[in-house]
Amino acid sequence: MTLAAAPTPLDLTDPAVVADPYPAFARARAEAPVQWHEELGLFLAFTHPEANAVLRDRRLGRIWSDKEPAERFDSFNLIHRNAILEMEPPAHTRLRRLISSAFARGHVERLRPWVEELAGRLVDELVERSGGTEAVDLLSGMAEHLPVAVIAELLGVPEADRHLLRPWSNAIVKMYEYGRTTEIEDDAERAAQEFVAYLRELAAERRKAPGEDLVSHLVSVRDAEGDALTEDELVTTCILLLNAGHEATVNVSGNGTLALLRNPDQLARLRADRSLLPGAIEELIRYDSPLQLFERTATTDVEIGGVTVERGQKIAALLGAANRDPAVFTDPDTLDVGRADNPHITFGAGVHFCIGAPLARVELQASFGALLDRTSVIELGAEPVRRPEFVIRGLSDLPVVLTA
């Protein structure tokens, strides 16, 4: 296939794009729904129908290729080679079945009171520290703590060890960005190595003294059914659940709170009508997506958006661009906490739809609900710092002043 020469549709090195990619998405979307990106070596899908098709078409798969040189990325490759996110059926189906019970809607709903109590306690601590005058960091004070605590509770990670999890995860997910430095890559491999070693030790402890947690459950499956779950898959599954199970929630909390503070009329509207909260969470997820790009690889020639993606080529769904498509969303650049028709694709679609989506929704409803319940005023304490990455979109901090 001959690719027509065209301007780069999206410059991921442009600080303006990293800070606010949505104008660039709109310009590219007006040119064509799917475009080739020479520097990235893949196609980009900018519109909702095409991005949705990328996620759903079974001819487009998640096909993992080890990072090279393999000896340098031994642990990083291990935790992706055996990850459900990088698998296709039947291996994907087998592994998803083994962990789905932990994220079933009924089980997640049973966690809601505990999550709400924890969210309330974290907000109360922030309000006390702020006292209506001092700026406190909403990210480190609540947004990062809550989802890590929930996933750690599910996995059975002891309280004394939970401070290790977020730094490991943060280092690993930086490998998903383009234009990485050697230092970032070394940090990611080191974190993966330490995380793998920790979980092997935790699994060994649960084998001797099982509990009611997910690690104990997976250990029992491994021992009872043998090849139904390998030791590497057990470790990898726990790492993926921690990484994927909190990164999005943390970044929706930060991005969403900032969006409400930038749109005080919508914050006031939500305060006045708390029945809007579940739908408002979906709108905050749509409005500033915590994950911007998701790659897939063609297993055979596939036509998407008028272009042919040849076997072996990659195409990425730009989730943030799809979620701002004016053909699907009325006034897509406007935050509307009462938006009723909201088919955002932030959690993915098809067989790789996020298994932790119900839990993420419970956590976000609890955290935003606690902020609304326990404050009368929320104000920016200083201009927040945005993380310098494109794929994982979030803030480094969010200074706020809270008044009870």
Decide which of 247 and 131 is more confident: 131
**C-alpha–C-alpha distance, residues 60 and 66, integer Å:** 19
Given a contact cutoff of 8 angstroms between Cβ atoms, the answer to whether 12 and 178 are in contact is yes
Least confident of 38-42, 244-248, 252-256, 343-347: 244-248
Who's near 338: CB < 8 A, 6+ residues apart? 269, 276, 279, 280
**C-alpha–C-alpha distance, residues 242 and 368, integer Å:** 21
Span 312-335, average pLDDT: 97
Which residue from 228, 244, 283, 73 is spatially nearest to 165, judged by alpha carbons?
Answer: 244
**C-alpha–C-alpha distance, residues 237 and 85, integer Å:** 9
Span 221-243, average pLDDT: 80
Given a contact cutoff of 8 angstroms between Cβ atoms, the answer to whether 67 and 45 are in contact is no
β-bridge mates for residue 7, sequence order: none
Cα–Cα distances (Å) from 86 to 81, 170, 174, 202, 379, in that order, read 7, 19, 17, 24, 41
- Does the pLDDT of residue 13 top 90, yes or no? no
Number of Cβ within a 10 Å radius of residue 265: 10
Span 86-98, average pLDDT: 86
pLDDT band at 225 (very low <50, low <70, confident <90, very high): low
Q: pLDDT digit string (tens) for 186-223?
A: 999 999 999 999 999 999 999 999 988 888 888 887 77
The share of the chain scoring above pLDDT 90, in percent, equals 70
Number of Cβ within a 10 Å radius of residue 179: 10
Which domains does the chain possess? 15-403 (1.10.630.10)
pLDDT band at 2 (very low <50, low <70, confident <90, very high): very low
- Does the pLDDT of residue 5 top 50, yes or no? no
Let me know the angle formed at the C-alpha of 94 by 209 and 196, rounded to the nearest 5 degrees: 50
What per-residue confidence (pLDDT) applies to 7? 63
**C-alpha–C-alpha distance, residues 377 and 400, integer Å:** 10
Span 113-121, average pLDDT: 96
Burial of 350 (0-12, 13-18, 19+ CB in 10 A): middle
Give pTM, 2 decimals. Answer: 0.90
* 181 secondary structure, DSSP code: -
Span 115-119, average pLDDT: 96
Q: pLDDT digit string (tens) for 370-395?
A: 999 999 999 999 999 999 999 999 99
Least confident of 34-38, 51-55, 234-238, 328-332: 234-238
Decide which of 87 and 34 is more confident: 34
